[in-house]
Amino acid sequence: MSRQLLVTGGAGFIGANFVHHWCQAYPDDRVVVLDALTYAGNRRNLATVEGRKNFCFVQGDICDRSIVDQILQSENIDTIAHFAAESHVDRSILGPGAFVQTNVVGTFTLLEAFRQHWGVNSKPPAYRFLHVSTDEVYGSLSPDDAPFSETTPYAPNSPYSASKAGSDHLVRAYYHTYGMPTLITNCSNNYGPYQFPEKLIPLMCINTLIGKSLPVYGDGKNVRDWLYVGDHCRALDVVIHSGIPGETYNIGGNNEVENINLVHMLCHLMDEFVPNLPVRPSTDLITFVKDRLGHDRRYAINATKIQNQLHWTPSVTISEGLRLTVEWYLQERNWWEPLLSEEYQAYYRKVYSYT
């Protein structure tokens, strides 16, 4: 069946990649994007789909119930893919209030609106509310701990992860209390095209190009599991179509890498692709900085459930994905250069105070 899909946060990094995936895979489906276009939302991320007859963009806040209600009713939405979130840990440390408002209150607003909409339409069994969350809700692992599974107790350590944990609990409660057809996914660190420059991988690429220091927190040995965003979008597609309402699915890339090793991999790619870098080898730019407050040591995902039950596995290795990502940032300088605004520079100086 065709779907009428509302994608919240669809002008952000993962949301925009998901919109591109969905429009290509299901050209007959209606796709409506709701995005507030805050600092990390960029309408240019959707330029290649803006002209499609089955696509619509609405600028607005997920906390605005009237806008959400109007979209659900006028577009006859049957599926929500909820990406909209404040998502940068450093920003949550500097200003946690926005994270509680968007991630908790915003998710609650969407749930209430969708519950009413679903009920008015006689609770169709095909409706879906997909909540896209993070592995950070599970806290931190020591080197020998087993990876996070869907039954790992929540233990968030930052205002960001705590706000996402709160939203996860609300979504779960709406299934168990009201029978609403919700789905939750918790993913590992994404990377790929359209990621805002303050995130680790684009930050390293861009700073290398302009000859700026490459800041690495603490000793650089924090471990993350890296998931190429295209693989993530395929997983979310499978969850919407085949996931069981009320269930949670962990999505990981099977690519655990220490941050310092990841930076070295990026430096080697930059040295290979760009012969006229300001500093060569670019590893000379690596600068260790004061560790982030409450910095989790290791994340790792056990994705056995989605692999066994829904037959999804990641297809892009870390070496392949990094190569694709570096090539994209080199080709799309006109995309990221305007994002290095004075506001961004002021934020950068505040976070990496050594500058």
Choose the catalytic residue: 90, 135, 198, 247. 135
The pLDDT, as a whole number, for residue 342 is: 75
Tens digit of each residue's pLDDT (9 = 90 or more) over 238-250? 999 999 999 999 9
Query: What mean pLDDT is predicted for residues 132-146?
Result: 95
Largest CA distance in the chain: 64
Partners of residue 5 on adjacent β-strands: 31, 79
Distance, CA of 156 to CA of 137 (rounded, Å) = 5
Identified catalytic residue from 136, 198, 247, 296: 136
Percent of the chain with pLDDT over 70: 96
| Range in 197-201, 237-241, 315-319 the model is least confident about | 197-201
pTM: 0.95
Helix and strand numbers, DSSP H then E, in the chain: 13, 12
- Concatenate the DSSP letters of all residues of 281-329 into one string: SGGGGEEEEPPPTT---B--B--HHHHHHH-------HHHHHHHHHHHH
Task: Indicate whether 89 pLDDT > 70.
Answer: no
Output the average pLDDT for the chain. Answer: 94
Q: What is the mean pLDDT of residues 29-44?
A: 94
Query: Of 127, 138, 160, 191, which one is the catalytic site residue?
Result: 160
Q: Is 136 a catalytic residue?
A: yes
CA distances to 41, 169, 205, 260 from 271, rounded to whole Å, are: 30, 45, 11, 16
- 61-85 pLDDT, tens per residue? 999 999 999 999 999 999 999 999 8
CATH fold of 4-194+227-253+299-315: Rossmann fold (3.40.50)
User: Is residue 29 annotated as a catalytic residue, yes or no?
Assistant: no
Render pLDDT for 284-314 as a digit per residue (tens, 0 to 9): 999 999 988 878 899 999 999 999 999 999 9
- Helix, strand, or coil (residue 235): helix
194 has catalytic annotation? no
CA distance 132 to 160: 14
pLDDT (0 to 100) of residue 353: 63
pLDDT band at 230 (very low <50, low <70, confident <90, very high): very high
Nearest one of 317, 302, 292, 147 to 226, comparing CA atoms: 317
How far is Cα 31 from Cα 125, in angstroms, rounded to an integer?
20
Confidence (pLDDT) at 177? 98
